[in-house]
């Protein structure tokens, strides 16, 4: 299958290992990626916190660019995903706003591009049986908790993703790789998001709690699908509470024996080598 | 009805916040309620009572992380997350003092980076934030570590058609 690909700013910087692992996993699963032409930032929290129209127009510029390819759009970053879905939601319900935004962006908005996270594409289009068939190395002994965070799920009528109180797609995906997924009640709790820069004290407490609860659930690592969750968990948690955090695509890469998977994880702040080499996964 | 309540309702453009029957589900699920000055439910009550200055100068509106748990769980479909956006925008437009200045400084630096490059240039955005906030030295070791791993590039590619991004900024700033 072929999809448009919107990496977003983080995947070209602090989350470059997410970009690299999404690309490698997509290639291995037969998903061809065509990058959205001359994309720009989605505006993230800063746009919708300060200027509503800006928060719709910035994603709309990218959605309009993606519509020209007439493909589904893969958006790995949960924050970009949420802003895209939210803009589509507003534009669908408000013809006056749509007209105004089209004038600002200078092009007609059709609303035809399906915005999708790679979790959804791999689960629903590739299928876990096919994923399982490609596993070279079972992730035996790896005990992740799945951490979905906020922006893939809420609000549900906008995100249209998975069960918003107890999502399971990522859990099932990790299980299909041979991991022993642990259950916990913090799957959809917030990591503090962009407050990490201006109020790192608050975010520190939030991720400390998440780490503590993950450990209490018996996990030895956390699987994420959001660059902000990753950055906050990987950087802001207290040293004594830390367990390794992985993008889910990195874990697929390790299980499928993909080239580069050993390099992606070197970019994390929390060293995952002791865990992975102990399990014979390095 | 107080003018403030009416203004907030108009800007939210959905379910009027009088529909809130104060079950406090929003507050029970709010991950930031414990550090907020007034919890989300109190903010709704204060808007209903017309306490404009107190609400717009509260720390709450800047500490909301927009996790959307409140609006997802509200039995009356009051869009509390959108309400927080509206209040932040009103606080900026009002031109008065802002309680959590650094949160707003971060947003300003973030948006300035988009306007200048079309995309976020993380190191340049952080320098800009530090100048705006005056918080010069926090996270220096973390930034250096990321730089050494090649995660921060000063020369990250820009959007080519920058004029189209700049137009979005000028057109949306004029109107709001």
For residues A131, A135, A138, A143, the Cα torsion angle rounded to the nearest 10 degrees is -30
For the cut 90, the answer to whether the pLDDT of residue B149 exceeds it is: no
User: What's the start-to-end Cα distance of chain A, in Å?
Assistant: 31
Chain A CB contacts of B142 under 8 Å are 235, 269
- A35 CB within 8 Å of a chain B CB: no
CA distance A134 to chain B (A): 30
Parts of chain A belonging to CATH 1.20.1050.140: 2-116
Residue A138: per-residue pLDDT: 98
Longest CA span, chain B: 58
CA distance B172 to chain A (A): 6
- Looking at the DSSP assignment, which residues form a beta bridge with residue A34? A4
- Looking at the DSSP assignment, which residues form a beta bridge with residue A245? A222
Pairing of strands A115-116, A73-74: parallel
> CATH for A2-116, among 3.50.50.60, 3.40.640.10, 3.30.1360.120, 1.20.1050.140?
1.20.1050.140
Residue B176: per-residue pLDDT: 44
Contact between A177 and A185 under an 8 Å Cβ cutoff? The reply is no
Burial of A198 (0-12, 13-18, 19+ CB in 10 A): buried
For residues A23, A28, A32, A35, the Cα torsion angle rounded to the nearest 10 degrees is 0
pLDDT in tens, A51-107: 999 999 999 999 999 999 999 999 999 999 999 999 999 999 899 999 999 999 999
- A262 CB within 8 Å of a chain B CB: no
CA distance B56 to chain A (A): 13
- The rounded percent of chain A whose pLDDT value lies above 90 is 99
Residue A161: per-residue pLDDT: 96
CA angle at A220 for the pair A214 and A225, rounded to the nearest 5°: 70
Residue B6 makes CB contacts below 8 A (sequence gap 6+) with: none
Asked if the peptide bond before residue B61 counts as cis, ω within 30 degrees of 0, the response is: no
Quick one: average pLDDT of B112-141?
93
**Is A46's CB within 8 Å of B107's CB?**
yes
**Pick from B67, B68, B176: CB nearest A51:** B176
Quick one: average pLDDT of A175-194?
97
**Pick from B65, B107, B120: CB nearest A50:** B107
Query: ipTM value of the model?
Result: 0.96
Residue B144: per-residue pLDDT: 84
**Is B153's CB within 8 Å of A13's CB?**
yes
**Is B114's CB within 8 Å of A43's CB?**
yes
Please give the Cα distance from A175 to A168 (Å, whole number): 11
Chain B interface, mutation test: which of A199, A203, A247, most B Cβ atoms within 10 Å? A199
Quick one: average pLDDT of B93-116?
96
Lowest mean pLDDT among A91-100, A126-135, B135-144: B135-144
CATH architecture of A135-278: 3-Layer(aba) Sandwich (3.40)
Chain A CB contacts of B29 under 8 Å are none
Chain B CB contacts of A47 under 8 Å are 111, 114
> In chain A, positions 172-231, which contact chain B (CB-CB < 8 Å)?
188-190, 192-195, 197-200, 202, 206
Residue B156 makes CB contacts below 8 A (sequence gap 6+) with: A12, A13, B117, B119, B121, B122
- A64 CB within 8 Å of a chain B CB: no
Lowest mean pLDDT among A121-135, A177-191, A247-261, B129-143: B129-143
CA-based nearest residue in chain A for residue B144: A269
CA-based nearest residue in chain B for residue A42: B119
Residue B137: per-residue pLDDT: 85
């Amino acid at each position: 299958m072929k999809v448009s690909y919107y990496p977003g700013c983080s995947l070209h910087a602090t989350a470059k290992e997410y970009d690299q692992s999404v690309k490698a996993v997509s290639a291995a699963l037969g998903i061809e990626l065509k990058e959205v032409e001359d994309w720009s930032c989605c505006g993230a929290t800063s746009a919708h916190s300060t200027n509503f129209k800006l928060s719709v127009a910035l994603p709309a510029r990218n959605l309009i660019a993606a519509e020209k390819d007439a493909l589904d759009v893969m958006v790995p970053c949960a924050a970009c995903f949420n802003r895209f879905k939210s803009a589509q939601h507003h534009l669908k319900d408000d013809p006056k706003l749509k007209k105004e935004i089209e004038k600002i962006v200078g092009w007609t908005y059709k609303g035809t591009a399906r915005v999708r996270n790679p979790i959804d594409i791999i689960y629903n289009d590739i299928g876990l049986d096919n994923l399982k068939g490609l596993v070279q190395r079972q992730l035996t002994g790896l005990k992740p908790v799945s951490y979905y965070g906020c922006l893939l799920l809420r609000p549900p009528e906008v995100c249209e993703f998975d069960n918003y109180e107890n999502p399971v797609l990522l859990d099932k995906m990790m299980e299909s790789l041979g991991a022993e997924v642990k259950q916990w009640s913090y799957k959809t709790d917030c990591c503090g998001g962009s407050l990490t820069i201006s109020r790192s004290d608050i975010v520190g407490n939030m991720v400390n709690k998440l780490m503590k609860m993950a450990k209490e659930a018996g996990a030895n690592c956390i699987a994420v699908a959001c660059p902000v969750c990753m950055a906050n968990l990987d950087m802001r948690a207290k040293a004594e509470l830390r367990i390794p955090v992985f993008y889910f695509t990195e874990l697929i890469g390790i299980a499928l024996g993909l080239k580069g998977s050993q390099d992606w994880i070197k970019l994390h702040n929390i060293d995952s080598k002791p865990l992975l080499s102990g399990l014979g996964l390095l | 009805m107080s003018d403030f309540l009416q203004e907030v309702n108009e800007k939210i453009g959905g379910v009027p916040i009088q529909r809130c029957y104060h079950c406090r589900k929003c507050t029970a699920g709010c991950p930031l309620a414990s550090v907020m000055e007034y919890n989300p439910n109190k903010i709704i009550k204060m808007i209903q009572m017309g306490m404009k200055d107190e609400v717009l100068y509260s720390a709450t509106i800047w500490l909301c992380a927009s996790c959307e748990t409140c609006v997802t769980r509200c039995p009356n479909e009051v869009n509390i997350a959108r309400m927080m956006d509206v209040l932040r925008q009103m606080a900026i437009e009002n031109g008065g003092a802002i309680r959590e200045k650094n949160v707003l400084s971060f947003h300003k630096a973030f948006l300035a980076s988009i306007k200048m490059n079309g995309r976020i240039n993380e190191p340049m955005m952080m320098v800009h934030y530090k100048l705006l906030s005056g918080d010069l030295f926090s996270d220096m070791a973390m930034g250096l570590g990321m730089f050494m791993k090649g995660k921060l590039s000063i020369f990250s590619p820009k959007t080519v058609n920058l004029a189209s991004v700049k137009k979005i900024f000028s057109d949306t700033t004029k109107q709001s």
